[in-house]
Structure 1
């Protein structure tokens, strides 16, 4: 099967091999087919029969399951970076970025734009992630669950409140009164609030 590369990007799907009701070739792009599953019919979604659609979907589901298992077996790469805060970096925020050294805290990818991941319960920054990991973090209970349990901010003992350019400083999310005393994340946010108030006094 010839999957052409265009402009150095990943291969594109071939053109559908079916014909339309009028007898003309269908020029739609063929549906993606899971890697390792035989029998790619090179048909678009409109012409793909139900039985082949089920085979395709089952193949993608199995690939996703194996991917999740591989992620669950890994640890966030930041766990191997040590807990030494870089010296001579000024404030905590600068030291926090210097410790990441341009690397995603989960996958370790370099030379990509990193974003600040924060805990919505506390409003505190957890770590710096690449856009891919930041998008997957809320939906994954394997590798990212480990990251949430011991993020870079906890490794370094640094408390940084998240800043949103549109909404300002992130605030702790309202928590039921009977859970406040036993909620460690809220306690961290409270300590940061006390520090900020003392600095402003």
Structure 2
């Protein structure tokens, strides 16, 4: 697949040699006037404010009153991931947000499994079909790939992306993302995960040996 460029206008303004500038995207930075640059900056500033307002209205108070890390650990023992007790925004996701951006706004730095809000959140996705599921802390992201505890099963069945009704493929088609290759990679990853799960089963409470060990097809 190649990008469609025919509808993207060229700069067209004369260069020093008199030839038209062929850069795409309209008037380029080299040939914009001071007034045009100032107008672009003012537009960007206003657009940032507008988007911020839209996002705050969409989120409302849904990022408040969430379980703490300790409370989430108790929920985990009942087979409930932390995100399943979070409030869900009532309106549609703002159109300017991608699925991952919407997840970042809604999760507000909290891990979907354990509520941990320290450290960087990682994008979790289904290794078979490539769809983004949610954002997890490093610990939960590792455990999710190895564990079959009830809370992880519940998370996979109804991840944050499903809760927000958003969908995004992990990776980019412009980076050579290929469905068939993903399926083959997913099968290899599943085999590796099965082997690791057999090796590390029972090491921590997250990998409870008394939980069922059969893996879901969509892992």
TM bin, normalised by shorter chain, reads 0.3 to 0.5
Q: Normalising by structure 1, what TM-score?
A: 0.46
Q: Normalising by structure 2, what TM-score?
A: 0.42
Higher helix share: 2
